[in-house]
Amino acid sequence: MSNQNNFLQQTHLLLEQKTYDKNDVSLLREVLQFHEQQYYELDSPLISDRQYDQLFTALLQIEKQYPDIITPDSPTQRVGKNASPLFTTEQHLVPMLSLQNTYNEGDLLDWNKRIADALDTPYTFVIEPKYDGASISLVYENNQLKRALTRGNGIAGDQITANALQVYGIPQEVDFLSHHLTQVELRGEVLMSKKSFEQNNADFLAENKSAFVNARNAASGTLRMKDSREVKKRNLTAFVYHLSYYQLQNEQQQFTCEKHHQCLDLLQQLGFQIAEKTHVKVVSSIAEVIAYCKAFEAQRNNLDYDIDGMVIKINELKAQEQLGMTSHHPRWAVAYKFQSYRAETILEKIEYQVGRTGVISPVAKVKPTRIGGVTVSSISVFNENNIQEKDLRIGDTILIERAGDVIPNILHALPEKRNGSEQIIHFPTQCPSCQMPLMKNADEAHWRCNNVVCEAQMVERMIYFCSKDAMDIQFLGESKIKLFFQLGFIKNISDLYQLPFDRISNLDGFGEKTITNLQQALQASKNKPAHFLLLGLGIPFVGKTTAQTLCNAITNLNDLKTMSIESLQQLEDVGPKVAHSIQHFFSHQHHLLLLTQLQQQGLNFTTTKNNNNIDGTLSGKSFLFTGTLQNRKRSDAEQLVKNLGAQISPSVSSKLDYLIVGQDAGSKLEKAKKIGTVNILNESQFEELLHQKNA
């Protein structure tokens, strides 16, 4: 059971909650960040947009109620994850935001009401297909393609210009100057047609290569290939759907387009592909919008490309400018998401997996069934309650759904199709790995194996310890850990630092270079900051934020051995459940022995809390950054002031010393102006302040 499954378990538990409070913030952020990584970086979403939106809205509401807990890296304050490390990154001219999702007629009516309340002039709508591919931005200067970027984190993306030029519909030269435009930034979607998807997969299978899972992943993965010649072979195509920025030759000239649909016409005249005219519709009422979206959904399967909904935009460009945007999405556009794909299949058996924290996760093995372009054979059922609520039985005909590119979900059984041979599912009372009795706390929905030396747990803990989210030990992934465990080379985390490399070198695939890489990666991990080690220990309910919070309150990880429940609960993000979990972990002899072994092996137990340059020239000052900086990344700027002794404030208040304002600053700037005591600096003034303090 992988780290992915642990996050899915946490996701499901959060989705089952009816209400959320301040104690849920840390877990909500980490779960949302995990799913953003799955979507934006790995092109492999694991939950539906509706489920993501439920958790996102929950976090947003808590942060509105408690604005002081808002942090710059909260999912509500940005779009997606960072760009891929395999490519250089560059900034978009205008932030490349997500779209707010709607799912039914009521959602669209609510959105239109907000538009009507905000505008004092008439407006119309443009409706376009929402292509399900890889988002891209194109910058042209003096008619030449200057760069092509992926979405990335919304502020900056991967520079993939060479690959983009191999995509049909992305010309290298376009006559923008004939329309007095010296620089433009376009938004588009790179797609692989259904026909090309099937052909590419057939070619791969003939060459004994792995086939693509779906066309969206295929398009996104192809754009990130190192060899642009291989990109051309994949037969990708691009549709342009938005002109996000333009610069005229001189200030006296005016842009000829006043409406979005006119921009689309212009781009088509210049040689770009846009959605077919018969698929784009301009209407004047929200009733027409709703009717068109429902009618188009009925023909979605007849298109050459995958779409997962429609995009509705306010047509008038001045109205778009007046409505503006949040840090997450434009207010003048929404996506209307189509209903998920559904199919019937047979529930053949239930398998039970053991996670690193002892959670037992049932997985339904179903008759392989094609749904939404993917063959499904395994579906997570999450816990015993879910099995009982849906009255699932072995041999049942079940209804499953798959929304977009996400993992499938069992909706319910079809009891009318039972023939009497179906078997009631009895959840195991013993761990499937170590056979110890399973336990379930009154406030939890899942059963656990509390045997800390359970082999299945030990393996999963080692996998998590080495993962990118924790100690990030490169070259030591899941397959190697399982192999070393099976061969008896390792039994627990501390054994990772005592691998018998003389024996490993005799295995196939472990040459001198591989051994050296492993040795260097393990040695480098010993110097990782203590909060990564604390996170890597796999304490139930302790995620990234909580691990950092704990390390900010101590000077050495061993201090946690003596902290009381009461003192733990005084820390931010630490509620009763988390506090009891921490104390339980540090009171168990097995874990105490592990800590001793890791410390003896040279891992870093000392936190950096008290090494924060207390004598720095900005000691005692608080900073907050808003908007997009042009000269450096926001994270780099934050680290610079931290190095000078300052702290990063989570929100604007009378206690804030400096607000650093970049481009497209939002509500934080207005709030700081109202307070009146906050020092508001633009980027050049901030750079001058740094120069003075470093002098």
In whole angstroms, give the CA distance from residue 310 to residue 334: 9
Residue with token string 């333009």: 246
Active-site annotation holder among 130, 259, 281, 544: 130
Q: Which amino acid, residue 142?
A: N
In whole angstroms, give the CA distance from residue 428 to residue 352: 9
In whole angstroms, give the CA distance from residue 439 to residue 414: 31
- Two structure tokens written together for 10: 């946490």
- Two structure tokens written together for 259: 């409406």
- Sign for the CA dihedral angle at 283, 285, 290, 294 comes to negative
Helix (H) or strand (E) holding 462: helix 455-466
CB 65 within 8 A of CB 35: no
* Phi, psi dihedrals of residue 565, rounded to the nearest 5°: -55, -45
In whole angstroms, give the CA distance from residue 75 to residue 153: 11
DSSP readout, 211-278? PPS-HHHHHHHHHT-S-HHHHHHT--EEEEEEEEEEEESSTT---S--BHHHHHHHHHHTT---S-TT
- State the DSSP code for 497: G
Strand arrangement of the beta sheet that strand 658-661 belongs to: 647-648, 622-626, 658-661, 679-682
In whole angstroms, give the CA distance from residue 289 to residue 111: 12
CB 572 within 8 A of CB 580: no
- Two structure tokens written together for 315: 């047509």
- State the DSSP code for 468: T
What is the CB-side half-sphere exposure of residue 44 using CA atoms within 13 A? 6
Q: Is 482 a catalytic residue?
A: no
The residues that are catalytic are 130
